[in-house]
Structure 1
């Protein structure tokens, strides 16, 4: 997640960089340059054909959403059908289940060099991000003198 001021600063910078003599690109968002996700670089696969196919399908689904093809019109809102295998069903505490799924045995693994680089939780709103962060931080034992 990035703060809205980061996007505004990027927008102003790109408008300045790409402004033409006519000044038309200074009126366009991001100076008229459209940044498009064409490949999900974080997805990794094994060599097993089933895993490769599953990853390919998931990557295409992400691209489909990123290109705003999931809804009928581009109104800023869309209903997106989440695949059944990605849903957390019948849970008393879905956030804890999500944390355990993404960060298995976190207390045993958090000191591993790439443990957090290999996984992430994305959330649509800052209040959800803050709740997940608070839950994660509450799992760690106090580290006196290590700060």
Structure 2
């Protein structure tokens, strides 16, 4: 999610360009996001600083019309996972002394070594590559998220090879 200063700068820019002192120069702007998933990055900052940098802390927040989505489309076929995500979001899922949620064993692919563990992950997420050739939309329902582009490149190379 963008830092509130970015949105506030956009507000000032549009006011200047449109010569209109209404928020965002009177233009309709649509923002999307889920505050439980993505807080703005604040170097060296903790949760408090992240919340203060978020859009909800901006002087513009009262001008927004908030629309809440009620169904998680990505997990609608897995009610157990929906409940799990809700418990985490509501702070009801048990945590360790560091405040970290412990994942259940079925959610974990044990690490043996880099090569074998990566193969196990790919096999779990994409169990039947032949199925995806005949039905590419099945592949669109699956993804592996990576923190760095180099990991994405490694996984993509392995998928292309198979």
Normalised by the size of structure 1, how large is the TM-score? 0.52
Q: Where do residues 116-131 of structure 1 align in structure 2 (5 Å cutoff)?
A: 116-123=139-146, 126-127=147-148, 130-131=150-151
- Could you say which structure has the larger radius of gyration? 2
Which of 66, 75, 84 pairs up with 1:43?
Answer: 75
Deviation at residue 116 of structure 1 after TM alignment: 2.4
Which of 35, 39, 57 pairs up with 1:28?
Answer: 57
SS of the residue 1:114 aligns to:
helix
1:10 and 1:110 map into 2 onto residues whose CA distance is 43
1:37 and 1:70 map into 2 onto residues whose CA distance is 22
1:86 and 1:57 map into 2 onto residues whose CA distance is 13
Deviation at residue 117 of structure 1 after TM alignment: 1.4
Moved more, 56-65 or 86-95: 86-95
Q: Provide structure 2 residue ranges, at least 5 long, that are not aligned to the other structure.
A: 15-21, 25-54
Is 1:70–1:80's contact at 8 Å kept on the other side of the alignment? yes
Normalised by the size of structure 2, how large is the TM-score? 0.48
Deviation at residue 38 of structure 1 after TM alignment: 4.9
Tell me if 1:80 matches 2:101. Answer: yes
Q: Which residue of 2 aligns with 1:99?
A: 122
Q: Deviations over 1:37-85 (max 9, x none)?
A: 754211243xxxxxxxxx322111112323455577xxxx731110121
Please, what is the CA RMSD of the aligned residues?
4.2
1:43 and 1:59 map into 2 onto residues whose CA distance is 6
Task: Note closer, same or farther for the CA distance 1:139–1:40 as it changes in structure 2 (3 Å cut).
Answer: same
Matched residue pairs, number? 114
Larger RCO (alpha carbons 8 Å, 6+ apart): 2
1:63 and 1:19 map into 2 onto residues whose CA distance is 34
SS of the residue 1:140 aligns to:
helix
Task: Note closer, same or farther for the CA distance 1:110–1:11 as it changes in structure 2 (3 Å cut).
Answer: farther
Task: Note closer, same or farther for the CA distance 1:117–1:84 as it changes in structure 2 (3 Å cut).
Answer: same
